Amino acid sequence: MTPVASERPPIAAILALGLTQIIGYGTLYYSFSILALDMARGLDWSAEWIFGALSAALLIGGLAAPAMGKWIDRFGAGRVMTLGSAIAAIALAGCAFAPGKVAFVIALIAVETASNLVQYGAAFALLVQIRPQVAQRSITYLTLIGGFASTIFWPITAALHAHFSWQSVYLIFATINLLVCLPIHTWLARSAGHRGTGEKSGATRRIEPSLPAAARTPAFILMVTGFALESFVNAALLVHMVPVMSALGLGAMAVMVGTLFGPSQVMSRFINMVFGGSLPQLMLAVISAVLLPAALVILLLTAPSVPGAVVFAVVFGLGSGLSSIVQGTLTLALFGSEGYGQRQGKVMSARLAVSSTAPFALAFLMGNIGVSWSLSITAGLGAAAVAALLAIRPLMRMPVAAQTALARGEP
């Protein structure tokens, strides 16, 4: 048995990170949709403006992601996540105590910036830094746990909001980040030590790139393009899923069908955990990318059929669930563990920059050209994501002569 095969994932770290991911996504992202209307009323804003503020915050947070990736490589992901928990608590409290719109937007930007320090991107990097040889399995296990964030925090947020103002709910969430997540991240930082992904801590601890050196830059561009387009499709439909199905004639059943999305995400991660170990990460990435536009085509061809909408929600959830995994594991498989944090920061920046515009873009399209044409365009973007990821495959088998020509910039 090889050392890689015998090495086990760091279960304690995965479980601890799983808890902080549920809290991080639940308090910093999923809670917003429940509290947004109350926020808008308190700030004397329309619902469109409050979601516009969130889009701006996501965009600015995404632009800061590459710098955060460098910090992860330099100082270690555990330390960065510890800092992120402190910033998240302060930022949530800042939103709660904001005296006006400008202060609220600044605090919201801080919330979304902090989220990049504590959510999947940083957590994946920490797992790579702890045990890179089994990081792909560890990331799969972590996303399986993190997939319950919306299932847990949507009802928690709604229950709290039934008794407290949105400001009080945010203060409760700030306390949770301070008293639960910060100590866990501090413990993980001490367990991992000062171990950046760029540190050469021994050949046995590193994952080597599977791509030839000359192919890495074009492959990275293709991967980022594919992930960004995939994130656009995912983000656009997540926000508009129920309104889209209602507009296609499903009426009240749209809400019931939409509830299948979350369980389908978790199911795809469980299936991958059990059966996906032998599949190359690029193949998993292509499968996840194919499922998203395929789901939209199913919806367009079958609407207003309820069984067709059910298949759409399940297939879309399967693709979205796999996407969360491969966006962490494909980077590791193609480019290795050295510099992983910085690469993930660049990937996250592109994804957030594109996906932050998706809800508005789809709403604009639906208002001007109708739902069917809007979904067709979105499906086309999803197909382009598939094409970008498929184009990486030939680069992995590039002949030596072609590698030399590419390195020299020759056609």
233: left (phi over 0), alpha (psi -120 to 50) or beta: alpha
By mean pLDDT, which of 57-61, 251-255, 331-335, 381-385 is the weakest? Answer: 251-255
Check whether 339 has a pLDDT greater than 70. Answer: yes
Report the sign of the C-alpha dihedral through residues 332, 334, 337, 343, in that order: negative
What DSSP character marks residue 277?
G
What pLDDT band is residue 204 in, cutting at 50, 70 and 90? very low
| Structural tokens at position 54 | 């969130």
Terminal C-alpha separation, the chain: 44
The CA distance from 285 to 283, in Å, is 5
By mean pLDDT, which of 1-15, 49-63, 115-129, 163-177 is the weakest? Answer: 1-15
Q: Do residues 388 and 222 lie in contact, with contact meaning Cβ atoms separated by under 8 Å?
A: yes
Amino acid at 3: P
Residue 398 has a pLDDT of: 61
Check whether 407 has a pLDDT greater than 80. Answer: no
Q: Which of 183, 80, 78, 83 is nearest to 126 (CA)?
A: 78
| SS3 at position 147 | coil
Q: Do residues 111 and 95 lie in contact, with contact meaning Cβ atoms separated by under 8 Å?
A: yes
Tell me what percent of the residues of the chain surpass a pLDDT of 90.
38
- In degrees, rounded to 5, the angle at the alpha carbon of residue 33 between the alpha carbons of residues 271 and 385 is 50
- pLDDT tens digits, 127-143: 988 888 888 888 888 98
Residue that is written with structure tokens 């399940």 in the block: 314
H-run or E-run covering 135: helix 135-146
The CA distance from 7 to 136, in Å, is 12
Q: Do residues 198 and 346 lie in contact, with contact meaning Cβ atoms separated by under 8 Å?
A: no
Check whether 256 has a pLDDT greater than 80. Answer: no
The CA distance from 58 to 359, in Å, is 12
- Counting Cα atoms < 13 Å in the Cβ hemisphere of 8 gives 5
Residue 246 has a pLDDT of: 80
- pLDDT tens digits, 388-406: 999 999 988 765 444 444 4
